[in-house]
Amino acid sequence: MAKKKKIRVDLRKNRNTKPRERDWEKKLDDTVAEDQIVAKESVRARGELSRRRTIIQEEQSGEDNLPSEMPAVDPSNARSGRVLRMYRDACIVQADDDGREYRCVIRWLLRSLTTNERTIVTTGDRVWFKPVEQLSGDVEGAPEGAIVRVEPRKGVLTRASRKREHVLVANVDQVVFVLSLREPDLKPHLIDRFLASAIKGEIRPILCLNKADLVEPIEFIPLVGMYSQLGVPTILTSTVTGLGIDELRDRLRDRQTVFSGQSGVGKSSLLNAVEPELGLRVREVSEVNQKGQHTTTTAELIRLKFGGWVVDTPGVRQFQLFDTLPEEVEGFFAEFRPFVPLCAFPDCTHIHEQRCAIKRAVYRRQISYDRYTSYLGMFQGIHND
């Protein structure tokens, strides 16, 4: 039996500094008598108040990698499961033992923990939850249960959202980045940001260039070849002609996969083509601005009949990396690695320095100029955050 210990954890602050009204006495009319001023008593906040709480945590071994703020649970009165869908105030959890789905809220303690994430629980999380009959009085409004612990994650896809981390999905093996060749038009630099997020989240990336029926595919063979040489499987697909659907289905088989991309690129349409019984909703791209319209509103974990799981995520308009240092960016470009040791300076940024091996390789066409431009955009964008 694992040993347990008590630790103190930080909670989110629930009160901020209340602005004091200054020089209020100067606003009084000179004709107002002193005894006419109505006195009142009020409690004024003294500023941000730190909030802490003692919880019981299992002692960790070197390989446990458990987050220190997560409380311990007793398996005799809690059940393990996986989050299938997230809603605004609840989520759907599938129990591991019997496969039943429970609508659960998140325990107040977990929601109050200090974190950089938008939400403490996301689709794909492995969690522990208590059925409603076993809950204590600190959880209200739980129709069927409450999540009391989130297990450590692996294979996460995240992005920056209002200076916080938005975890789109957790515990997946691979990510299919769907981009359309037309309607909306392909954005090559967005591909490189997608691939950087996969490297950061330790997920195997697959590029899916959709709507090939609207273009001449031979024009995009150099692009397919470039990313294939970098070790990224790249598939041309079309739900109209069926191009690439069989290959995509084979790559999804017996895998945990997340589909990600902009709105309107055809993520849901591709999943319907791979498994028609899914019947996911689709919408047309706007003819006015060539931007996709949000059809999928929440990330959902879906079991495939031929084996494996997929997560269809809502479309994104912008995709920025979270918590990334400028010095990390060169590591997202595999073709840079042979040349980095050849730079004259160990802290070379590959932008303005003389005798830079990366710039020399770009000049000699050993590194794609488009990929180098993506590097500049990521480096300078993160540097200016």
- Summarize pLDDT for 78-119 with one digit per residue, the tens: 899 999 998 877 889 999 988 889 999 888 777 776 566 667
Are residues 350 and 232 part of one domain? no
Are residues 169 and 138 part of one domain? no
Are residues 131 and 208 part of one domain? no
Rounded CA-CA distance 129/187 in Å is 42
pTM: 0.76
Last residue in a domain, options 312, 344, 362: 312
pLDDT tens-digit readout, 298-357:
788 999 999 999 998 886 666 778 888 889 999 999 999 999 999 999 999 999 999 999
Look at residue 212 and give its three-state secondary structure. Answer: helix
Provide the sign of the torsion angle of the four alpha carbons 358, 361, 363, 369, taken in this order. negative
Are residues 225 and 136 part of one domain? no
pLDDT score, position 220 = 93
Q: Are 358 and 367 in contact (CB under 8 A)?
A: yes
Domain holding 265: CATH number?
Answer: 3.40.50.300
Last residue in a domain, options 130, 150, 170: 150
Domain holding 138: CATH number?
Answer: 2.40.50.140
Are residues 302 and 170 part of one domain? yes
Range with the lowest mean pLDDT among 125-134, 249-258, 330-339, 362-371? 125-134
Are residues 203 and 78 part of one domain? no
Are residues 168 and 140 part of one domain? no
- Residue 254: domain span: 158-312
Average pLDDT across the chain, whole number: 80
Q: Is residue 4 one of the residues assigned to a domain? A: no
Are residues 282 and 372 part of one domain? no
Between residues 13 and 343, the one the model is more confident about? 343
Look at residue 357 and give its three-state secondary structure. Answer: helix
pLDDT score, position 49 = 46
Q: Is residue 66 one of the residues assigned to a domain? A: no
Q: Which residues, 6 or more positions from 164, have their beta carbon under 8 angstroms from its beta carbon? A: 116, 117, 118, 322
pLDDT band at 72 (very low <50, low <70, confident <90, very high): confident
Are residues 306 and 341 part of one domain? no
Domain holding 341: CATH number?
Answer: 1.10.40.50
Q: Is residue 236 one of the residues assigned to a domain? A: yes
Q: Is residue 31 one of the residues assigned to a domain? A: no
Check pLDDT > 60 for residue 34. Answer: no
Distances from the Cα of 84 to the Cαs of 96, 301, 312, in angstroms?
12, 5, 11
